[in-house]
Structure formats: C-alpha cells, structure tokens
Chains A and B, each alone.
Chain A
C-alpha cells in the first residue's frame, strides 16, 4: 500500500531532474560536434584529442574547419587559399575560439588573446582566448603573460614570433 504513495511523492523531483538534464544538454553550440576524423587543416592534428583548444572557421559555403589552437586558426585566416584551395578570407562567415577558462566556443573577433604566458597549447606557444578583458587580465597576471591582443592586433608577425619561441 505504501509503494504507490512513495512513487507519487517522487514525481516532482524526477520531473525537476529531467528538466535540469534537458536544459544542461542544450546550449547555443549544441550543433558543433567534433568528429574523430576532424583534423586541423594547417598542421594535420586530430582535433578531438585537444577539445580545450579547439578553434573553428565556418565559410559562407557551409564548409567548416576545426583547429587545435587559435594560432593555427590565424594561420588559416592569413593564408586561406594555401590550406583550403578555392576559399579566401573574404568568404569566412564566422570564427570561433575556445575560452580558456570557460571552455566554450566564443566569437573570435570579440575575444581577448593573451600571449607570452607560461601555458602551452598542443602546438607550443599559443594565443590564449578569453571572452572578457577581466579574465584575460587575471590570466595574464597569474601566468606571466606579456600582452593582451584583440583579433585585429594579431598579425602574421605575431604568429611567427610565437612559432619562433617554440
């Protein structure tokens, strides 16, 4: 006799739990899934091995590429035709990088990049992306970073200097 009463009393918590699970699994980037076959077009690395470092470029044609760090993403932006013949930087629709603290994809053009820190990515010295300046500043102080750059401040010379440090 007591069993139906107990089950009834569980209904609400179960409903809340299910709602929580459903909302947690939904996010703005839910459609972005990294497959085991996705490789960085710049260095050839399998991106699934480094989910915390992923960057992404989506072209107007719908073609999308993953990178194992912001550095390789910038290399692709600076020399698009080399890595993807037939494409050009003008045809890029959107660019994403992974926020180092939040571990979520953010708009690369709005991000703050810390360089010169003691944190190394899969490809050595990296640009560490953050969605706000406070987080970037905090990281810079904690990890001996040198400079905070915006998207447009990053030039081929900056990328070359990161590679040279490796």
Chain B
C-alpha cells in the first residue's frame, strides 16, 4: 500500500459510505416490510421519526459518493509519477487488476447515488412520504454494489506496489494494439464517430426540449440520455481527445484531466455525469406523476430535471465543438 493522503481519503470515504449505506439499508428493509402510513402504532412512529435522520445522512453520504468518483480519478492522476510507465491516471489504474473494475463500479454507483438523491428530493415534496418504499427499495439495491466497490477499491489500494512497470495510456488506448476495450474504441474511425456523436446529441436535445415543453416522452428522453452518455464517453476516446491533445494518435480519456490541459476533463465529465443523472432521473420519476400528493409538483420537478439535463448536454457539445474548432489538429 502507498500511504499517500489521497489514498487514505479515498479509503476513508469508501468505508464511511459503505458503513452508512449498510446501516441505512437495514433500516430500509424495516420500512419496506412494516411501513404503513395509516397505522398509528409505535413501530410506525419510530420509523417515521427515523426516516428524517436516515434520509438526511444518506443525502450527505451519496453526495460524498458522487465526489468520490472524481477524487478517485484525481488520486490515480496524482500517483502516476510513482509508477514507471504511467503518465496519467490510465497507467496508475493499470498497476493491478482492481483499478479499472473500481472505476467502472464508481461510475455505476455515481449514477445510482444520483438517482437516489433525485428520488429523495421528489419524496420530500409530498406530505405523505409518497415514494418512501421505492426510495428504500432503491437503497437496498445500491447498498451491495457500494459494498462491492469498497472491497475492490480496498484491494486496489492495498495491493498497490511501487516497483511495478505499468502501461502508458499511449499503449492502453492505442488504435493499433489488439485487444482491450480502450484500444477497440480508439480504433473506431474518427469521422463517422463524430457524425454519430452529433446526431445522437441533436436527437437527445430535441427530445428533451419536446419533453420539457409538452411534458411527454420522458421515458424516451431517459433512454436517449443514457445512449448519449455512452456515445459521449466513446467519442472522448475516439476523436474528442485527439483535438484536445492536437496529436493524431493519442486517445487517452484521462490525460485531459491534467493541469497541462487546464483540467478541462473534469469539466467535461462533470457536465456529462450531471446530464445523464438528471436525464435518467426525469424518466424514473415519470410513473409517479399521478400519485395524489405529488400531482401538483412532480411534473414541474421532472421538467426542471429534463431542462437541466438538456442544458448540460448542450454545454458539453458546445465545449467539445469549441475545442475542435480552435484545435490545431486537422483530420
């Protein structure tokens, strides 16, 4: 293990999150089994009182979970000078078998945690805890994933050895190397991928605007925003990175978070993750529009989420287009 402050911060954040989420999930199971708003018995009153505390704490825990994705990538980037061959987070994540699985789980948990926060906010709008069972049901699904993430993240940091020669992102995301998802995406032809990217972004934003204006097509928008998110991640590796680095062969999705590129990667990823969470969140709330206590407010909240998502995707696309236009790379 490498005793770096960022490593300790990551592990602490992970242990705190896991502990809190497991405790809250235990409470969630009780809610799912015994919650009855009509009842006035002691257990129900205890559950009603406790849910405020648990929801508030979980709000902070999931906010920490959202931040932990960026902290994790920042840590991997910070540690890269310790490993021969690593020039950015890509190399650090490759020092053992647990780096990339941790990153994937962090991305999944980012979206799940974001969705839980959306549900929690919607639930708090109604006077009779309208989404409480759904909210804690989601928590029971998220808790094991967060625990698995904690275990794999611990294995990653505890198994980190400084004398390992790792691979540089130049070879991990090389269009010529055979095998590996990074290389396969890097090998995608840049121009067609660019057309797909702009096509999908345009469709997503148009569908979002229709959904915002008419209050219809929320499911379609949620689906499209997930597709747009995946296409955007592929596009970063396939062609966006090339224009930012101004190198025809460098496809790394991690070097863009470095100081040398003015941390533009953090901005791009924040826009993207914010967009997908609010987009899917809007779709996930659609079935509950007719719930009696949410009738007046949920529609407006879904519209706000949709608009937020559309604006974030628009900001992402604008930033990418700007970087392509000012880039010295000609393809």
A binding-site residues for B, Cβ under 8 Å:
36-37, 39, 41-46, 82-83, 85, 120-125, 163, 165-166
Q: Which residues of B contact A46 (CB under 8 A)?
A: 260
Question: Are the CB atoms of A43 and B165 closer together than 8 Å?
Answer: no
Question: Are the CB atoms of A44 and B84 closer together than 8 Å?
Answer: no
CB distance from B173 to the nearest CB of A (A): 10
Question: Are the CB atoms of B260 and A36 closer together than 8 Å?
Answer: yes
Q: If A45-B168, A166-B167 touch, does A123 touch B245 (CB 8 Å cutoff)?
A: no
Question: Are the CB atoms of A44 and B171 closer together than 8 Å?
Answer: no
Q: Which residues of B contact A44 (CB under 8 A)?
A: 87, 169-170, 245, 247, 249-250, 252, 255
Closest to A42 in B: B170
User: Is B248 part of the contact surface with A, judged by Cβ < 8 Å?
Assistant: yes
Question: Are the CB atoms of A82 and B249 closer together than 8 Å?
Answer: yes
User: Is B215 part of the contact surface with A, judged by Cβ < 8 Å?
Assistant: no
In B248-302, the 8 Å CB interface with A consists of 248-250, 252, 255, 260
Question: Are the CB atoms of B248 and A123 closer together than 8 Å?
Answer: no
Q: Which residues of B contact A37 (CB under 8 A)?
A: 260
Question: Are the CB atoms of B170 and A120 closer together than 8 Å?
Answer: no
Question: Are the CB atoms of B165 and A166 closer together than 8 Å?
Answer: yes
Closest to A121 in B: B84
In B214-252, the 8 Å CB interface with A consists of 245, 247-250, 252
Question: Are the CB atoms of B249 and A166 closer together than 8 Å?
Answer: no
Question: How far apart are the CA atoms of A43 and B168 in the complex, in Å?
Answer: 8
Question: Are the CB atoms of B247 and A123 closer together than 8 Å?
Answer: no
Question: How far apart are the CA atoms of A41 and B248 in the complex, in Å?
Answer: 8
CB-based A-B contact count at 8 angstroms? 53
User: Is B85 part of the contact surface with A, judged by Cβ < 8 Å?
Assistant: yes
Q: Which residues of A contact B255 (CB under 8 A)?
A: 44
Question: How far apart are the CA atoms of A119 and B165 in the complex, in Å?
Answer: 12
Closest to A36 in B: B260
CB distance from A64 to the nearest CB of B (A): 15
Question: Are the CB atoms of A85 and B170 closer together than 8 Å?
Answer: no
12 contacts between A and B (CB under 8 A): A41-B249, A43-B87, A43-B170, A44-B247, A44-B249, A44-B252, A45-B170, A46-B260, A82-B248, A120-B85, A125-B165, A166-B85
Decide if the interface of chain B is mainly helix, strand, loop or mixed. loop
Question: How far apart are the CA atoms of A124 and B248 in the complex, in Å?
Answer: 23
Question: Are the CB atoms of B168 and A123 closer together than 8 Å?
Answer: yes
Question: How far apart are the CA atoms of A166 and B83 in the complex, in Å?
Answer: 12
Question: Are the CB atoms of A120 and B168 closer together than 8 Å?
Answer: no
A36, A39, A82, A124: which contacts B165 (Cβ < 8 A)? A124
Q: Which residues of A contact B260 (CB under 8 A)?
A: 36-37, 46
Question: How far apart are the CA atoms of A47 and B117 in the complex, in Å?
Answer: 44
Q: Which residues of B contact A45 (CB under 8 A)?
A: 87, 168, 170
Closest to A40 in B: B170
Question: Are the CB atoms of B249 and A124 closer together than 8 Å?
Answer: no
Q: Which residues of A contact B167 (CB under 8 A)?
A: 166
CB distance from B177 to the nearest CB of A (A): 10
Question: Are the CB atoms of B87 and A83 closer together than 8 Å?
Answer: no
Question: How far apart are the CA atoms of A39 and B169 in the complex, in Å?
Answer: 14
Question: Are the CB atoms of B170 and A163 closer together than 8 Å?
Answer: no
Q: Which residues of A contact B170 (CB under 8 A)?
A: 42-45
Q: Which residues of B contact A36 (CB under 8 A)?
A: 260
Question: Are the CB atoms of A83 and B249 closer together than 8 Å?
Answer: yes
The 10 closest A-B pairs by CB, nearest first: A43-B170, A44-B250, A124-B85, A120-B84, A45-B87, A166-B165, A124-B165, A43-B168, A46-B260, A44-B247
CB distance from B88 to the nearest CB of A (A): 9
* Contacts beyond the supplied A44-B169, A45-B168: 16 A-B pairs with Cβ under 8 Å: A37-B260, A39-B247, A43-B169, A43-B170, A43-B171, A44-B87, A44-B252, A44-B255, A45-B170, A82-B248, A121-B84, A124-B84, A124-B85, A124-B168, A163-B171, A166-B166
CB distance from A69 to the nearest CB of B (A): 11
CB distance from A81 to the nearest CB of B (A): 10
In B173-199, the 8 Å CB interface with A consists of none
Q: Which residues of B contact A121 (CB under 8 A)?
A: 84
Q: Which residues of B contact A163 (CB under 8 A)?
A: 171
Q: Which residues of B contact A83 (CB under 8 A)?
A: 247-249
Question: How far apart are the CA atoms of A166 and B87 in the complex, in Å?
Answer: 14
Q: Which residues of A contact B169 (CB under 8 A)?
A: 43-44
